């Protein structure tokens, strides 16, 4: 039996799901390592670092995203059970949540409308194409809802998924700083704002802050998804 050449091994491994899965975990480890090295500095966000490393790695190796995702989907799949698991911190915080229910409804509407109207008006004013603008509109909702909304109003669902992640990374990296500057400090308020404006990645960031912030963020993420599903198609008919 002859041994395979290095090239044959590479061709085989590049197409194997194991490579995409391992690369995802390695990139994330690098992200958490860098984040710890930088004392948890928001710009060293683990998701941001991992995404940058993976995109560079895919470009350098010539592996296309679909081949990569065949392996990475095993990690992606866990988003479902993790969303279900948000019921646990939610339940632990239910008394604080009940107390602030009225404020949360108003805050959610303020955030969801500001996000959707803001991104569309700015995108148009700065000269983005119409399809990009329509793909941007639902960017504060959680990915599956955002993709559904984009499809309904004429955007590109896969592009919207990218915008949701970019929004999450922006919120997670700049959010704590912006809220502090704006005088918003209570864990409850910071968490709720992160979940509304920056979805799941904002929620991951809020859990680093405290369990209270994480619970409010997870709740806000779910509610913002619902608000976006109703509001964006409505706004789309009325104002743009």
Partner 1 sequence: MIAWITVLLACQLAGEGTALLLGLPVPGPVIGMVLLFIGLSVRGGVPEGLRDAAGGLLRHLSLLFVPAGAGVAAHVARLEGEALPIAAALVLSTLAALLATGWVMRILGGRSES
Q: How far is CA 188 from CA 82, 102, 107, in A?
A: 21, 14, 12
Count the residues of the shown chain that bind partner 1, applying the rule CB under 8 A.
Answer: 115
Identify which of 20, 22, 50 has the alpha carbon closest to the alpha carbon of residue 204.
50
Q: Rounded to 5 degrees, what angle do the CA atoms 185, 188, 193 make?
A: 80
17 in contact with partner 1 (CB under 8 A): no
235 in contact with partner 1 (CB under 8 A): no
Q: Rank residues 10 and 218 by Cβ distance to partner 1 and give the closer one.
A: 218
Q: If residue 68 lies in a helix (H) or strand (E), which one and from where to where?
A: helix 65-76
Closest distance between partner 1 and the C-beta of residue 186, in Å? 5
The residues, ordered by sequence, that sit 6+ positions from 134 with a Cβ below 8 Å of its Cβ are: 150, 153, 154, 155, 236
Task: Identify the burial level of 39 via C-beta atoms within 10 angstroms of its C-beta, where 0-12 means exposed, 13-18 middle and 19 or more buried.
Answer: exposed
> Among 34, 44, 54, 134, which residue interacts with partner 1 (rule: CB under 8 A)?
54
Q: Rank residues 38 and 110 by Cβ distance to partner 1 and give the closer one.
A: 110
Closest distance between partner 1 and the C-beta of residue 61, in Å? 11
> Among 76, 130, 154, 239, which residue interacts with partner 1 (rule: CB under 8 A)?
76
Residues numbered 152 to 181 that lie near partner 1 (CB under 8 A) are 158-159, 161-171, 174-175, 178-179
What's the CA gap between 121 and 128, in Å, rounded? 10
Closest distance between partner 1 and the C-beta of residue 9, in Å? 23
The residues, ordered by sequence, that sit 6+ positions from 213 with a Cβ below 8 Å of its Cβ are: 187, 188, 190, 191, 194, 206, 207
Residues numbered 98 to 117 that lie near partner 1 (CB under 8 A) are 99-100, 102-104, 106-108, 110-112, 114-115
Closest distance between partner 1 and the C-beta of residue 238, in Å? 18
Q: How many helices (H) and strands (E) does the chain have?
A: 13, 0
Q: Rank residues 1 and 181 by Cβ distance to partner 1 and give the closer one.
A: 181
Residues numbered 19 to 38 that lie near partner 1 (CB under 8 A) are 24-25, 27-28, 31
Q: Rank residues 136 and 235 by Cβ distance to partner 1 and give the closer one.
A: 136
Is 50 within 8 Å of 31 (Cβ atoms)?
yes
Interaction mask 180-219, partner 1, x per CB under 8 A? --xxx-xxxxx-xxx-xxx-xx-xxx-x--x-x-x-----
13 in contact with partner 1 (CB under 8 A): no
| C-alpha dihedral, 143 to 201 to 16 to 68, nearest 10° | 60
> Among 1, 60, 126, 238, which residue interacts with partner 1 (rule: CB under 8 A)?
126
User: Which structure tokens are listed for 107?
Assistant: 């805050």
């Amino acid at each position: 039996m002859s041994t395979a050449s290095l090239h044959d091994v590479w061709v085989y491994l590049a197409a194997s799901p194991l490579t995409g899965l391992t690369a995802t975990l390695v990139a994330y480890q690098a992200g958490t390592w860098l984040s710890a090295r930088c004392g948890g500095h928001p710009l060293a966000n683990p998701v941001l670092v991992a995404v940058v490393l993976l995109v560079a790695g895919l470009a350098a190796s010539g592996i296309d995203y679909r081949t990569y995702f065949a392996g990475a989907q095993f990690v992606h799949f866990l988003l479902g059970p993790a969303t279900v698991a948000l019921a646990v911190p939610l339940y632990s915080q239910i008394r604080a949540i009940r107390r602030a229910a009225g404020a949360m409804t108003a805050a959610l509407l303020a955030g969801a409308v500001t996000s959707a109207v803001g991104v569309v008006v700015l995108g148009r004013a700065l000269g983005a194409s119409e399809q990009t603008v329509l793909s941007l509109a639902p960017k504060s909702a959680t990915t599956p809802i955002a993709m559904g909304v984009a499809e309904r109003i004429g955007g590109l669902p896969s592009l919207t998924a990218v915008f949701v992640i970019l929004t999450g990374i922006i919120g997670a990296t700049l959010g704590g700083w912006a809220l502090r500057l704006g005088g918003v400090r209570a864990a409850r308020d910071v968490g709720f704002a992160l979940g509304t404006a920056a979805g799941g990645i904002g929620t991951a960031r809020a859990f680093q802050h405290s369990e209270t912030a994480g619970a409010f963020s997870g709740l806000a993420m779910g509610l913002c998804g619902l608000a976006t599903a109703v509001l964006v198609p409505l706004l789309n008919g009325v104002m743009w």
